[in-house]
Amino acid sequence: MATKRGGLKLYLFSCFLCGIDFCRRKMATLSVPPVLTSPRQDAIDLYKAFKGLGCDSAKVVSILAHRDAAQRALIQQEYRAMYSQELADRLSSELSGNLKKAMLLWIHDPATRDAIVLRQALSGDVIDLRAATEIICSRTPSQIQTIKQIYHARFGTYLEHDINYQASGDLQKLLLAYIGRLRYEGPEVDHNMVTNDAKHLYKAGEKRLGTDEHAFIHIFSERSSAHLAAVASSYHHTYGNSLEKAVKGETSGNFEFALLTILRCAENPGKYFAKVLHKSMKGLGTNDTTLIRVVVTRTEIDMQYIKAEYHRKYHKPLRDAVHSETSGHYRTFLLSLMGPNH
């Protein structure tokens, strides 16, 4: 079991941190047809699905839920060339409700999508600092660099500027530090530094009255994921309490949420997102904004692991949970992205 878990962790590192495509595809759940599809034919079929009274949403879902980022970009290009209209605009007027919300995010590539989610969270009608924090604190340093570039190109303003404006206090400091640093993404850790950081965090939190938030911001924003995971393990081993418990005891609100997101994603991103999904569907009603955001943004990254972690923790398939919380073409779409049960 231990070696198996160790193996899984190493595997996660090599994918998340080095971004090796071959690994990433294995963790993704997107399924595309075995035969190469023609973007032009897809554009024509979509156009046909839009035409007439009412839109053939089933057709739209059956095409777009099974095309990867490169194919979706080509389809949009073909559609624009043939019909002198943006596919996104047409989708926006043909679809409605949660299906529309999900599809309008899905058609982009992962980094552009993240930039759009961030912009909406930081400047929409409803400011959603949780969503913004989730995106920022769960992405790798190189992903964040790309997102920042796209954010500026697309919205004409810097991500830093919007964070500065909407967030405050320790959360603001942490987010700005987190996106401002180019952290190492590999699996190597310096064990002396790990021990020192664990001690530093203990002294800054549990050992003293009050909290030295600056120490938490400093270590959580500067260290690599592999390093933080090692710090958490060393902390637990040396001081008895888990680092996660210490963070919960010493901080609160969105600052706490940001630190926990960084920590949990360093240790096991699949488990982190399984938890977010569970929370979004728990109790009466569903938080569809969160459900859509997580399913759509993780399908091409690590949905396979999220499903496995979800099943392990909540003793039922994630698909079943999503199935019971959604309906219609919206349901078909999310389930198509998530792939079959294993």
Ligand X SMILES: *[C@@H]1O[C@H](CO)[C@@H](O)[C@H](O)[C@H]1NC(C)=O
CB 165 to ligand X: min, Å: 18
For ligand X, the closer of residues 128 and 213 by Cβ is 128
For ligand X, the closer of residues 123 and 149 by Cβ is 123
Which residue among 43, 131, 219, 318 contacts ligand X (CB under 6 A)?
131
For ligand X, the closer of residues 53 and 284 by Cβ is 284
**137 near ligand X, rule: CB under 6 A:** no
Number of residues that bind ligand X (CB under 6 A): 6
Distances (CA, A) of 22 to 14, 29, 33: 10, 13, 18
**278 near ligand X, rule: CB under 6 A:** no
**Residue in this structure with the two tokens 């078909």, named with its chain if needed:** 332
Which residue among 24, 59, 66, 130 contacts ligand X (CB under 6 A)?
130
Q: Is 137 helix (H, G, I), strand (E, B) or coil?
A: helix
Which residue among 59, 287, 319, 323 contacts ligand X (CB under 6 A)?
287
What is the DSSP secondary structure assignment for residue 189, as one 8-state letter? -
For ligand X, the closer of residues 106 and 257 by Cβ is 257
CB 175 to ligand X: min, Å: 15
**289 near ligand X, rule: CB under 6 A:** yes
Both tokens of 163, joined, read 């964070």
CB 124 to ligand X: min, Å: 11
Amino acid at 22: F
**198 near ligand X, rule: CB under 6 A:** no
For ligand X, the closer of residues 126 and 182 by Cβ is 126
CB 128 to ligand X: min, Å: 4
For ligand X, the closer of residues 140 and 254 by Cβ is 254
Distances (CA, A) of 229 to 85, 147, 174, 189, 306: 48, 24, 18, 10, 18
Q: Are 87 and 277 in contact (CB under 8 A)?
A: no
Q: Which stretch binds ligand X (CB under 6 A): 175-183, 244-252, 283-291, 323-331?
A: 283-291
**200 near ligand X, rule: CB under 6 A:** no
For ligand X, the closer of residues 191 and 279 by Cβ is 279
Which residue among 221, 290, 299, 304 contacts ligand X (CB under 6 A)?
290
CB 130 to ligand X: min, Å: 4
Nearest to 205 by CA among 262, 248, 246: 246
Helical axes 303-314 vs 269-281, angle rounded to 10°? 60
Q: Looking at residues 141 to 180 of the shown chain, list those that interact with ligand X (rule: CB under 6 A).
A: none
CB 78 to ligand X: min, Å: 34
For ligand X, the closer of residues 295 and 308 by Cβ is 295
Nearest to 136 by CA among 121, 125, 123, 124: 121
Q: Are 136 and 114 in contact (CB under 8 A)?
A: no
Q: Are 270 and 185 in contact (CB under 8 A)?
A: no
Query: Can you tell me the distance from the alpha carbon of 189 to that of 223, in angstroms, rounded to the nearest whole number?
Result: 10
The angle formed by the CA atoms of residues 110, 302 and 274, to the nearest 5 degrees, is 110
**Residue in this structure with the two tokens 């600092």, named with its chain if needed:** 129
Instruction: Give the CA radius of gyration of the chain.
Output: 21
Query: Can you tell me the distance from the alpha carbon of 120 to that of 126, in angstroms, rounded to the nearest whole number?
Result: 8
**128 near ligand X, rule: CB under 6 A:** yes
Site residues (vs ligand X, CB under 6 A): 128, 130-131, 287, 289-290
